[in-house]
Structure 1
Amino acid sequence: MPWRICKRSSDGCFRGYASRESPDHARMLHRDARGGSPVTLVRIAKDWDWPDLLRQTPGGEGIWDGVRFTLDPVEECDCLVVLNNRMKSHVQTRCPEGMVWALMQEPYAWGFTDWMAEGHGAFSRVYTNYLPGRGGKYVPSHPAIPWHVDRTFDDLVSCAVPAKNRGMSWVVGSCRDLPGHMERLSFLKFLQSRATAEIDLYGRAVRYIEDKWDGLADYRYSVAAENAVWPDYWTEKIADCFLSWTVPVYHGCPNLEKYFPADSFVRIDIGRPREALKTIRRVLREDDWERRFPALDEARRRVLHEYQLFPHLARLVRAEPPGEREKVLQTIPAYRRSAGTKMRRALYKVRKQYLRLSRR
């Protein structure tokens, strides 16, 4: 069956919101969609604009399981969640003690993402794939990075399975900041010299497409290679495959089976390119997409209803309902590198340039 687009409602994704300038804004956010009983209000602070996070909630309204999420700088909330601890200016709001959290969404890289390892004093809890300390405030977590296919939650839950009349694709980026980026580009170069007839290549590194869906939806399989191989670190690279019912041929998270059925993906190691290409060719030859479909469909359900940002945060917040606890002024300072990390940053830049030159 061909995929059909299910349009969002014409009044957009901010239906029912008061203006952030309104003095009643915070009060309105604390009421459910029917104006009834109070709901838990979670403020999300982040330093990036795309993609639109609220599109990942039903109707784009920012509500999940009785928890309302806002991206607005409200003066008070029940929980504050900062994505990635790299804010360029301070974040301030009133909320209960113990309800100021960080969620790390990048892989840790010495000299590059040092904010994952320092500057956490203002947070009562840090959900992260990299644990700079044992116990206490640090809790293992997947990153819950937003999907990159240009579809809303409503689009995705109501669309039909695409026709799947093509074999394998790879939508690959052009970043060169991390060793994992360079390894991925090296694997791309290897495939371009040996397998261009077997894999359709897209992305900024090859052939730009406006919507990642267009490089996934028609394909039964797609290569998905993470920036780093680290427990609990998996991203939109594999989630986008699941959302389009495309089996990921995957390099990355070593404990992915903790999250998804084993039959929903195929593992490769791009650090061993010849063996990876053998696996790719075997996958295309055996072509067991239909056998894998139940596991693939279950993985898709888990992304949409369990692991994406809003069900993930709603579950964590509801496990510790703030209730009527007193709200106090909380300030998250802008991230500033320590003297030690400034030195690491300088060394990282030297190493990055060396890696670029050595891979030419």
Structure 2
Amino acid sequence: MTDYAIEARDVAVTYADGTEAVRGVDLLVDEGEFFGFLGPNGAGKTTVIKTLVTLLRPTAGSVEVNGFDAIADPHSVRATVGYMAQETSIDPELTAYENLRFACDAYGVPKADRTERIDELLELVELTDVADKVADDFSGGMKKRLDAATALVHRPQLVFLDEPTTGLDPAARNRLWEYFRRINDEGTTVFLTTQYLEEADQLCDRLSVIQRGRVVADGSPAELKRRVGGEILGVDLADPAASDRAATVARDEELFAEGATIERTESGIEVTARDARTRGTDLLVALRDAGIEVVGFDVRAPTLDDVFLAVTDERPNSVEGVGGESTAAEAVRSKPTGDGGTVDGEGAETGGTGGNR
């Protein structure tokens, strides 16, 4: 057995039609970690999860989950993991109690333990009062919580959550957050994919970002936000059509430190720089002198949204950085991998052999 809940090396998945869904993915997830896996739609997130839970066989590479070879010994892997897919798998015609009893049958939970296990899980997901009601009458949040409970009846060491809160209102989402924190605090390793970056920021110890089938960034939420390149100054213009002129003013090499990036937005421009806060007033004066009217501005720390948009190249109308320095995206993606290699602009590792950790 290893110290890793997941040890995936150079994993590739190519579908029958020739589509390369995953290319050279390395993942190392520690036991007990709350790990986030982010990426735009079609980036390969669900393909990776299905490979890790043995629903897909990789075309190349090696996968160990909870110390078991996922290719040679998939049954042992399945016995030690829980999987909550994007769509709930509960039976709407069964009660909450019956759904959990069916899951116990499917996972081979000893009969002597089932009643206690079901009662424990119903209490955990706050469905004890509706245990005898059919799931078809449940709200979306209640169905999600019941689905999560069915994935835990066999007390797995590792649980996979594939966009578990998609479509839920904020209150229902927050209740599931607390539930996921609780099972992680009790020792369960959690592997989460989500499109809600606030969710990843709140819950995850560490994150990897996948783009076009390759991992392009890795680190704790705080580390990734630091690599964006400083604070972010947003400037709203009276005439958004003047954003080109405003960007030209902001690119003045004497205004911001080297490495700053300037991007046009729908309402004006956005500057990412180490000295965005201290030089913001200078920019406003320069814009006024250039005859460009400013109607609003703010300075904020980077968020995971900024990281995500940077590393997946989805910020629109990017303007070159000051002095020809790297953009924020390049700064995040050029992080050392920990074994002497780096991640290049396409997400491929150059040099070194290790994975993301």
TM-score scaled by length of structure 2: 0.29
Max Rg structure: 2
TM-score scaled by length of structure 1: 0.29
